[in-house]
Chain A
Amino acid sequence: QQPVQSPQAVILREGEDAVINCSSSKALYSVHWYRQKHGEAPVFLMILLKGGEQKGHEKISASFNEKKQQSSLYLTASQLSYSGTYFCGTIQSERGGSNYKLTFGKGTLLTVNP
């Protein structure tokens, strides 16, 4: 089941903030966030395993609401280097399962202008 990301695209000026949302209709084991620049491989940003967990990476942080199966990625004081496409990936909870298939949303294109 593919997670749903919003918005599809964001345009910021350097120094502005942005929030990218990711939601699933299925119970989740974990949520991953990746950034991909044009023509390059996706790069891992962070993973959230527990409900309500919030993690940080430089000025990029994320939260995970386990009850709502929703995650948000927060980018504060954006820099030009933050430009790229952000993907959330989800692994569903399976009772007694061992299938760690990571399914990605369609992505959010973030453009940071000077």
Chain B
Amino acid sequence: DIQMTQSPSFLSASVGDRVTINCKASQNINRYLNWYQQKLGEAPKLLIYNANSLQTGIPSRFSGSGSGTDFTLTISSLQPEDVATYFCLQHNSWPYTFGAGTKLELK
């Protein structure tokens, strides 16, 4: 199985900050990498698919980049409603596998 190493595990930032979260795949996954946001008690929500495509309805402050093994989710200007845990998912090879998550809180 492909291992997804996500960093950092925990992140504290202020409103308006630029925030970056990283995922590294144990082998090439091309651009088949999605990012999800999960708020407490809710289901994950798709933010970015195929590394850099913004899902419909998601604010443009969210963006994704990368290909191959290294990927980044960026929040350009952190908002209070962005407090959540963020996960990456590779869907290049079965079984699809998730990163362990990054818990984002407000400083």
> Is the pairing of A and B real?
no
Residues of B within 8 A of A (CB): none
Residues of A within 8 A of B (CB): none
